[in-house]
Structure 1
Amino acid sequence: MDVAFVFLIAGIIIMAGFFGNVFFEKTKISDVLLLLCIGIFLGPVLGLIEPQILAPFAEYFGTLALIIILFEGGMDMDIDKLLKEFGTASLLVLLSFTISTVSLACFLHFVRGWDLLLSLLLGAILGCTSAPVVIPIINKMGIKEETKTLLSIESALSDVLAVICTISLIEIITLGYIGIKTPFRTIFSSFSIAIVLGLVAGLFWLKILNHFSARKYAYMFTLAAVLTTFGAVSFLGGSGAMAILVFGIILGNSHDFSKFLKIKNTSLVNSTIKFFHGEMTFFIRTFFFVYIGMMVSFSWIDLDFVLCSLALLLIIVVVRYMSVGVTVALYPEKKNDRGLMMSMLPRGLASAVLATLPASANIRGSEYFTDLTFAIIIFTNLIMTVGVFVAGKKEPTKGGH
C-alpha cells in the first residue's frame, strides 16, 4: 500500500474520531459504532487490509490501548468515591462475569454440543465488559461521579478476571489437569501483586514528580513509568492492567498522599500531564476501534452463525439484567442508575485479544471464536449506544465533566 495513501487514511480516521466525539457530546450517541464501521469498511468491505495480517499485532496494540485508557481512568477517580463504590463494583463484576461465563458455557455445551472446557473458554472470553469502551464513554457523560467510579472499577476488574481465567483454561486444555484450585490461586496472587506493586510504584513516582513535574517532557517521563510498571508487574506474575489502574489512582489523588510523603506540592500531576494524556487516549482509542473493525471477518457468516450469535447475545443481556437487579436490590441508592448500568455491557479489547489466543495455542475447535467474539462486540456496543443515548436524554446534567 502506498505510504501517502496510508497517511491519508490515518488523517481521515483521526478526523472521524474528532467529529464522532463532537457528535457524542451533542447527541449522546456513542462514536464507537462509527469507528467500528470505518474499520469494517476499510477491511472486510474494501479489502484494503486483510484481517489475517492484523491478527499478530492485536495483543500488542490492544494492550497499549488498555494501559493508556486505564491510566486515564485511574487518574479521574476520586479515592473517597472509589472506597465507597468498591464493594458495589466487586459484587456487580462477580455476578456479571461469573454467571455470564457459566451460562454461556452451559448453552454451548448442552445446546450446541461443544466440549465443556472449550465452552468455558469462550464463556470466559465473552464474560467481561470492556474498560477501554466503558471508561471513555462514561467520562464524557453528565452522570454522578459515584456511578462513573462504579462502572469504571467494574469494567477494569472484569477485564482482569477474563484475562486470568482465559489463560488458566488454555493451560488446563493444553497441559492437562492442573487442579481446580490453581485458577483461584492465580487470581488472588495476580490481584495482590498488582495492588501492592501499583501502590508502591505510584507513591514512588509522586516523589519523583516532586522534583521533575515542572520540567519539559514530564508527561513522556511519566508515560515511560507507566509502561515500565505494567511490564514489571506482569513479569512478576501480577495483573499489569490492575497495577496501572492503581498507579493512576495514586497520581490522580496526589493531594491526598502529599502529607504522607512529606511533599509540599499538592498538585504534582498538573494540567499539562493530564492534557497530553487525554490527547494520547483519544489517539489510541480512535485507532483501536477502527483496528477492531478491520479485523472482522465475514467468512463464517451463515444462518447457524447468526442464530448462535443472537443466542449468546440474549444470554449476556439476560445475565446483565439479573446482575444489575441483584446489585440494585442490595444497594437501593443505585436504583436511578439501573438503566445505564444495564446498558454498560459492551465487549471490546479484552475479548477481541483473548479470542485469538486459543487458535495460537493450537486448540482444536476454537476456529469460530474470533468471528463469534466480533459479532458479540458489535451487538453489545450497539446496545450500549442505545442505552447511553436514553440515559443522556433522561439525565442531562448530574455532575461530571
Structure 2
Amino acid sequence: MATGGTEGAIDPVMAVALVGALGVGAQWVAWRLRMPAIVLMLAAGLIAGPVLGIFDPTRDIGTLMGPMISIAVAIILFEGGLTLDFHSLRGAEQGVKRLVLLGAPVGWIGSALALHYVGGLSWESSAVFGGIMIVTGPTVIAPLLRQARLNRRPAQLLQWEAIVNDPIGALAAVLAFEVVVLTASESSLGLAAWQIIRGIVVAGALGWAGGWVLSEAFRRAYVPEYMKVPVLFAILLGIFAVTDYMLHESGLLAVTVMGVVMANANLPSYTELRRFKEHATILLVSGVFILLAASMDVATLNRINWNAAAMVAVVILLVRPLTVLFSLAFTNIPFRERLLVGLTGPRGVVLVAVAGLFGERLVAEGVEDAAFLTPFAFALVAATVVLHGFTLGPLARAMGLAGKGQPGVLLAGGSQFATSFAKTLQDLEVPILITDTNRARLRSAREAGLPTFFGDVLSEAAEHSAEIMKYGVVLALSDNDAYNTLVATDLAPEFGRENVYQLGRAKQDSKRHALPASLGGRVVGQGYGYTELASRMVRDWQVRATNMTDDFTMEDWSAQNEEGIPLATHSSTIGLRILSETSKVETGGEFKLLWLGPPRDDKTPEAAATD
C-alpha cells in the first residue's frame, strides 16, 4: 500500500477506491442480510476510520474532501428534486405545504431551545445548529422508504419534506450565522439582509432558468441523446458553483429548484435521466457516509457526553413529534399517519456536512462551544439512522401504514389463469393485485373477491391509486406478448429484474423474433405462453398449493403429476419464490408448491397433501 508524506497515509487513489468498496460493499451486505444499509455504512466508516485508523479522509484525500462532499450533496439534492413531480402530490398537498411552511420555523425554534436548555450550548450555536436540524435527510429517507414499503401518503410526506427542507435548513443556518456575525461586528443589518435576500433570489432564479433551458433543449433535440447526461452534469455543477459563490449553501436551493422544474417538464427522456441519477446517488450517498463516519476522531467522539445524549432524546421524542403534530393539525390526514411522520425524522449527510462547516466558522468568530456542533450532529445522525432503520418498517406495519409481512404480487393482465394463481396466493396470505385495461377481463377476479385495478399498470394513476410500489413481484400475464415485454422492461429497474416475470413469448425460439436479453423479464410457468395456458384453463385446470415434506418430495409429486406446471414455492422461512423456466426446486424440507394442473379426484394420495 502506497504511503504519502504523512505517516500511515494511503495513496489518494487507493483512498477513493476504499471509499467505494466500503460504501457499495456495505449496501450489498445490508441487502443480503435484510438490514438497514445506512447502519452498516456508518459502521463501516467508523471501523475503517477512528477504530482501526486505516483511513483518515483529511489525511488521505486532503483539501479535496470538502468540495467532494459539497458536490455530492448537490447532486443528491438535484436527484431528489427530480422525484418531486407535482402530480405525485395528489392527496398530500396540504400536508407537505404545512410541513414546509409551518414545520420548518417551528422545528427551528424547538431544536434551538433543546440545544440551549438541554444540550447546554450558547444561543449563538443553538440558533445556527437549530436551523440545520430542520433537515430530515433525503439521503436517509430514500433507502428507508424503499425498505419499509410505506403507504403512499406518509411516504410522500416524508420524501417531500426531506428534499424541500434540505436547502431551507441550510439557508436557515446561513441566516442565523449572519446574524451572529453582525452582532459581533456591529455591521449594517440592512446590508447583510440584502446579501442574503439577493443570494436566495438569484439561486432560485438560476435554478429555475437552468431547469427550463435544459428541458427545452432536450425537448427540441438540441442535445443528442448520448450527451444529455454530460450536459446535465456540466450545467448542474456550474449553477451550483455560481450560486454557492454568491451566498454559501444557496447552491443547494438552486439545484433543488432545477430538479423540480425538470421533474414537471414532461420530458420524453425523463425516466432515463432519473434512473441514471438514482444510480449516481446510490454511489454518492455511500461515499459521503463513509467519508463523514471515517472523519470522526476519538477526541471528537469523546465530546458526545450526557448533554448530547439528552439533547438527541428530546429532539427525537419531543421536538420532532410536536412539530409535525402542530403542523398537520386540523388537516384531513389521519392521526396515525401524522404520528408516524412525527416519529420518523432521520438526519443525514447535509446535517453533518453543514454543521461541520458552520462549527468551524463560529469558532473563528469566538463562539467556543461551536466546536461541539460536529459531535452533536454526528450523535443525532447515528441515533436517528439506527433507530429509524430498525423501527420504521415494524412501526408502520403495526400502525397499518405499510405492507405487512412478505412483499405482494402484482399481476398485470386479467384472465382465468391470473385469477386462479392470485386466489391461491391470497389463500397463503400473500398480498395480490390484478390489473387490466379491459374491465371484462377482470370479471372473474372481481367475482372471486380479489383486489383489482382497472387501468394500465404503467400509468400514473396506477402508481398513485394502486400504490404498485408496495408490491415486490410483478407477473406480466396478458394475452399481448409485446405488452408483457413492455411491462417487464419498464418495471424491472424499480422492482429488480429478479422480481419481474412474464409469460413465454410466441415464436421466442426463432432468431427472427428473438428479443435481446435487455428486454423483458424472467419467464414463468416453464416457458408456456398465454394461449397454451388459456387452453388448459378452458379444460378446468387450476392452480393448487401442495404441501411438500420429507415424506412427499418433488420426485413423488413429479411421478404423480406428469402434466403439472410448477409456478412457485412458498415457505414460512423464505416466503414466496416464483419459479422461472430455469429454476430448480430443492428436494426435501417443508414448503408449499404452487402448480397448475388438471382437475383431479380429491381421494387420490397426492390430493390429500393439497390444501
**TM-score w.r.t. structure 1 length?**
0.82
| 1:113–1:320 CA distance, 2 compared to 1 (3 A) | closer
Cα offset for 1:35?
A: 0.2
Q: One-letter code of the match for 2:209?
A: V
Answer yes or no: is 1:378 the counterpart of 2:385: no
Aligned positions of 1:164-175 closer than 5 A: 164-175=171-182
Aligned positions of 1:2-401 closer than 5 A: 2=2, 3=11, 6=15, 9-10=18-19, 12-20=21-29, 22-23=31-32, 27=34, 29-50=35-56, 52-53=58-59, 56-57=63-64, 59-82=66-89, 85-110=92-117, 114-138=121-145, 142-175=149-182, 176=184, 177=186, 190-209=199-218, 210-212=220-222, 214-235=224-245, 237=247, 239-255=250-266, 266-271=267-272, 273-301=273-301, 305-317=304-316, 318-361=318-361, 362-363=364-365, 364-365=367-368, 366-391=370-395, 393=397, 394=400, 395-396=402-403, 398-400=467-469, 401=494
Cα offset for 1:39?
A: 0.2
Gaps of 5+ in 2: 3-10, 409-466, 470-493, 495-611
Q: Does the CA contact (< 8 Å) of 2:50 and 2:297 recur in 1?
A: yes
Deviations 1:256-302 (A, max 9, x none): xxxxxxxxxx513252x333222211111111111121122332555
Cα offset for 1:225?
A: 1.9
Tell me the secondary structure at the aligned position of residue 344 of structure 1. Answer: coil
Q: Does the CA contact (< 8 Å) of 1:164 and 1:186 recur in 2?
A: no
How far apart are the structure 2 equivalents of 1:343 and 1:186?
37
Q: Does the CA contact (< 8 Å) of 2:119 and 2:310 recur in 1?
A: no
Gaps of 5+ in 1: 256-265
> What corresponds to 2:513 in structure 1?
none
> What corresponds to 1:259 in structure 2?
none
Q: Does the CA contact (< 8 Å) of 1:85 and 1:149 recur in 2?
A: yes
| 1:122–1:74 CA distance, 2 compared to 1 (3 A) | closer
- Superposed CA RMSD in Å reads 3.3
Deviations 1:50-101 (A, max 9, x none): 3654785554233222222222222222222348645422422454443443
Question: Which stretch of the first structure deviates more once superposed, 285-294 or 138-147?
Answer: 138-147
Q: Which has the higher helix share?
A: 1
Q: One-letter code of the match for 2:83?
A: D
How many residues matched?
Answer: 386
Q: Percent identity?
A: 19
| 1:157–1:250 CA distance, 2 compared to 1 (3 A) | closer
Runs (4+) of structure 1 moved beyond 6 Å? 179-187
Q: Which has the higher strand share?
A: 2
Question: Which stretch of the first structure deviates more once superposed, 143-152 or 2-11?
Answer: 2-11
Tell me the secondary structure at the aligned position of residue 341 of structure 2. Answer: helix
Q: One-letter code of the match for 2:337?
A: D
How far apart are the structure 2 equivalents of 1:151 and 1:333?
13
Cα offset for 1:111?
A: 5.5
Tell me the secondary structure at the aligned position of residue 329 of structure 1. Answer: coil
Deviations 1:375-396 (A, max 9, x none): 1110111222134322564512
| 1:356–1:112 CA distance, 2 compared to 1 (3 A) | closer
| 1:56–1:172 CA distance, 2 compared to 1 (3 A) | farther
Q: One-letter code of the match for 2:41?
A: L
Q: One-letter code of the match for 1:312?
A: M
Cα offset for 1:199?
A: 2.4
How far apart are the structure 1 equivalents of 2:205 and 2:91?
20
Q: One-letter code of the match for 1:202?
A: G
**TM-score w.r.t. structure 2 length?**
0.56
Cα offset for 1:231?
A: 2.4
Tell me the secondary structure at the aligned position of residue 128 of structure 1. Answer: coil
| 1:77–1:148 CA distance, 2 compared to 1 (3 A) | farther
| 1:267–1:389 CA distance, 2 compared to 1 (3 A) | same
Cα offset for 1:332?
A: 2.9
How far apart are the structure 1 equivalents of 2:31 and 2:336?
27
Tell me the secondary structure at the aligned position of residue 305 of structure 2. Answer: helix
How far apart are the structure 2 equivalents of 1:196 and 1:328?
30
| 1:192–1:173 CA distance, 2 compared to 1 (3 A) | closer
Q: One-letter code of the match for 1:310?
A: A
| 1:85–1:247 CA distance, 2 compared to 1 (3 A) | farther
Deviations 1:332-354 (A, max 9, x none): 32534335412431222222122
Cα offset for 1:319?
A: 1.1
How far apart are the structure 2 equivalents of 1:110 and 1:22?
41
How far apart are the structure 1 equivalents of 2:51 and 2:149?
36
Cα offset for 1:191?
A: 4.8
Cα offset for 1:355?
A: 2.0
Question: Which stretch of the first structure deviates more once superposed, 357-366 or 78-87?
Answer: 78-87
Cα offset for 1:139?
A: 5.3
Deviations 1:90-120 (A, max 9, x none): 4224544434433343344446654322332
Cα offset for 1:221?
A: 1.7
Q: Does the CA contact (< 8 Å) of 2:42 and 2:289 recur in 1?
A: yes
How far apart are the structure 1 equivalents of 2:374 and 2:270?
40
How far apart are the structure 2 equivalents of 1:119 and 1:374?
16
How far apart are the structure 2 equivalents of 1:217 and 1:63?
24
Q: Does the CA contact (< 8 Å) of 2:137 and 2:163 recur in 1?
A: yes
Question: Which stretch of the first structure deviates more once superposed, 77-86 or 120-129?
Answer: 77-86
Larger radius of gyration: 2
How far apart are the structure 2 equivalents of 1:340 and 1:111?
25
Cα offset for 1:146?
A: 4.2
Tell me the secondary structure at the aligned position of residue 181 of structure 2. Answer: helix
Q: One-letter code of the match for 1:122?
A: F
| 1:247–1:34 CA distance, 2 compared to 1 (3 A) | same
Q: One-letter code of the match for 2:285?
A: R
> What corresponds to 2:416 in structure 1?
none
Higher RCO, 1 vs 2 (CA within 8 Å, ≥6 residues apart): 1
